[in-house]
Amino acid sequence: MQAIETAKYTDGTFQPIIEKCEGCERIIEVEGTRFCKTYISPEAKWRHDMCNFATHAKPELKLVKVRVNPLKASKRASRRK
């Protein structure tokens, strides 16, 4: 079974990881080269900001505080009753 796994990564379809992949838990090493065991082309996953398979990077959440007009809020609340 190990020979089949090695052939899957060394036949050329899987591309080696890039610098941004360092630290991810999905990396495996086959014959001295490191590959992502989840995705064939790691560079393509990082093209649009962040890889969705990355275990070492978390997306930044931007919280926006919304200002509510108290007069409008009270009118809306009174209509719901």
- What is the per-residue pLDDT across 8-23, written as a single tens digit (0 to 9) for each? 766 767 888 889 888 8
What is the span of the domain harbouring residue 36? Answer: 2-80
pLDDT tens digits for range 29-60: 888 889 888 888 888 888 888 888 888 888 77
How many domains in the chain?
1
Q: What is the pTM of this model?
A: 0.59
Q: Is the pLDDT reported for residue 68 higher than 80? A: yes
Q: Decide if 11 contacts 43 (C-beta within 8 A).
A: no
17: Cβ–Cβ under 8 A, 6 or more apart, which residues?
24, 27, 34, 35, 36, 42
